[in-house]
Structure 1
Amino acid sequence: MANTFSENNKITKEIPTASCLTTMVEEKERKNACLFCEKENHNSIECYKLQKLSADQRKDIILKKKACTICLKKGHFWKNCRASVRCLICNKRHSTVICTASQTTKQDPEKAYQPSPQKKTTTAATSSTQATTTLLQTLMVEIEYKGKKIKTRALFDSGSQKTYLQQDIIEELQIPSIKEEVLTHNLFGGLQTASQVHKLYDITVQSLDGTFKIDMEALGKSCVCTNVPSFNTKDITIYNMLKTHKICLTDKGDSTDIGLLIGADFSGLLMTGTIINLKDGLVAIKTKLGWTLQGKQVGIFNNVTISMFCSELTDYWGLETLGIQDPVETKTKAAVAEEVLASFNESVNINEENRFQNRGNWYHS
């Protein structure tokens, strides 16, 4: 604002100038800049500097910048934050980047990192509809131990360094562990989980037709992957193309769960190098355990869009772990009532006219 002066040097009025506009624009840009490096081309949650900072150091920076420890934005503090964010490591109401639970937890190592029990699915519509889904490399195999066999669904995942087998299969076949490994999982953004003890098992994996079998080492996990789609048999075009190439798929049922995740430690041993392009990026890949499909397929699907998530495994590399996507919160009625009352007491006062006045903070459950 610029001031004008009369002859006796008294201020007569204020005239707005372009400098005010420039200042406000600069302040808005700085407000949206990354808290950790001051750059404006990414969010604070995605900053590369996070991997060099401890949780306490990150929190100190956030507080010095007068930002919210829940949504990592300036302009308000955590008491007034409207974002429905909870830490996916300890389930407390703060951003996962400042969580110290993974560093100080004294829980059983196998339970040091617990995924949210809520399925991470994205609703696409309220009913079945014509949609596109992306198929991953899945097929049916048999897990064999001392003559006993269990048929399960397997997934090839070159993004995983290890192979994992679902715990209930291990228990049903009564497979003994050969040793234990202590692993630390690295997350996007430089976060690390606490060290966890995993039991290692020797297993034999066999194709359904019995023409090939391979011995593997797999880590046990209570839940490997869920909601991974299979080939839609109602797609007549693709079905006829598979028939023309004499490709027989073993995974075309209704099951969406994965019992065996074949990581990069063994997936390379199972590839044959045969790949057939079918349609619009959808390819058929031949492995020693059978044929798999990979790519987009159009057809009739559920009202759930899959984005390759695993109940526990992909929490290690999923962006949701950093708080980019808010988890669904479930609270008891007593907890909700307590938070509503606390929010009411903080935001309501009595004005000069002896009336109740709300300062503008609304509670979001």
Structure 2
Amino acid sequence: MSVVVENMDVLIRKRGSFKAKVTHFEKYVANLENTYPDKIVSDRVAFLDLETRYERFSQVFDEFELVQNEIEESCDLASINSQYEEREIFNNAYFRLMAKAKSFLADDSVDNVKSSGRSVAGSVATQNTNISQNLVQDFKRVKLPTIEIRTFTGEYGKWLEFRDTYVSLIHENDALSDIQKFHYLRSFLAPKVLEVIASLGFTGTNYEAAWNLIYGCYNNNKILIQNHLRGLFTLDKIQEESPSVLRDLADNVDKHIRSLNALGEDTTNWDTLLIYLVSSKLDSMSLKKWESAKGEAKKSLLPDLTKFLRDRANFLESLEQAKPDKKSNSKFRAGMESKYNKQGSSRSFVATGQSCCYCKKEHFIQNCPDFVNLSVNERIQEAKKLRLCLNCLRAGHVLKDCRSIVCKICKFRHNVLLHINREKAAETTAAAATSSSTTEKEETVNCSFASHKNDGVLLSTAVVRVLGKNNKWVTARALLDPGSQSSFLSRSFVDKLSIPVTKVNINICGLNETESAVSGKVNVKVQSRINDFSLELSCFVIPLVTGSLPNFKVDSQNLNIPANVSLADPTFCTSGPVDMLIGADSFWDLLCVGQIKLGPNGPFLQKSKLGWIVSGKVARLNNLEGYNSLQFC
């Protein structure tokens, strides 16, 4: 039996264990329905038992998703549809059970437990208010919003909020025993943070030690102050004025300043520095308005700037609301109602039958012969018309929220039926551009600009340093491409930097109008390795920038490169991975005056702030193994 089959058997057995958990929980919920037909669990022990089981069962879905994704990635195309059906059956059963269990934890049930004096939240309110028993009874008749403690994920920026809320509601509540406090503490910590107290047994005597470990690990004023200072100095620059962006900028500045003051950092005399810092992040129009607003005042204060930002946001918002709605026609309303109905049905927990949204027959769209017989571009257009997710071909959500697996061929976020074979597309385009054909086997790409079988083209590369976590510099190999509108970083290199990634939702269009979804963006500082030059880049994060460059062997001895030049990439002639791409947004800022032609048929040396770049046509010895194509970026 092959290793793949053995792994598949293991994964299917794991999936079976999750199905068994669903069956057990279904029996438990059925017993509750028989015992409490009015959906109110009046017994305190039974209510806490349900609450604990519900929390544990809520984790089953994520565990199932991991295993199911591995199964779908490992199975062949012939059985992929049956795996999709397995996923849908499990999802329907899981969410139906979650809805039933949650109905027992609704407000009416919780209020009933509170009124009986059996709710921990009631004990918290009683302990912290220090008022008479009669007043507490009157207070309980008032329905107040539930106080929620958000799960602490280990982010220092969220520590103060978690600490103050947890201490006031749980840690200083004498009505709770130590084992109850320990239970609450563990339930509010993410898996990463739980590792700090993993060595402690789950007993009441270990609660104080557990809390002290968490407190000592994250209540570090020095790190917290540095975190908020970093937040101020890394505020995103506004590219185009928008009410929401201006308001977010003001809120972020106020949040960091308040946190610094709470940590004992005196920011009284920081106004001039902060005003300069924040105003440098404004778009050109907002900056002009701010300079005009402050006028001839001798000194502006930070509250003046934040007030200006909020007033400006309110003004822009009022202008947007005053604009006529151009999409208020009947067709648009019908489309919005259809979308709303689809979203509403996707949130319900009722199992529905299979129905192809393309031909309306009883099968999934992946199995639809009419849909499969379309060309790839026609499938993409039809999927967009039907408002389907381009990753799983289902309605009810958008691409960025899809949790299904990615394309098995290129690993980008689209369905395998929507994958465009770039190599075939390039071959087709090249064949159309070439007027004659040949049967001789050559190592050249058959396209109109492949002039000779021994010619190759060196792309511009440079070795740079990129600032990562804890101010550590990491060496990267960059491709300089003025044909790209944006800059990019590979996912593996971002992991090396260990820097935060901002979520985005955009599509990148490449050759043959192929689109790839991008969900991450980072801001990095790039520095030359031969001088003090540096620049700030905003880069999109993608799985792979390009293949190894160059994709053919080069004899650097025949290029006659002058000995006194400092190359931007000393390894330009050695095939190696590319970590980042610097696009036209910064490419032209790198060039300097100075160019050398290396022979009549040789490449060019171009002077840049990163060193001398080697690029252009060269004679290649032979292709590297596995590389018999052009590189497109």
TM-score (norm 1): 0.49
Please identify which structure carries the higher helix content: 2
Bigger radius of gyration among the two:
2
TM-score (norm 2): 0.30
Please identify which structure carries the higher strand content: 1
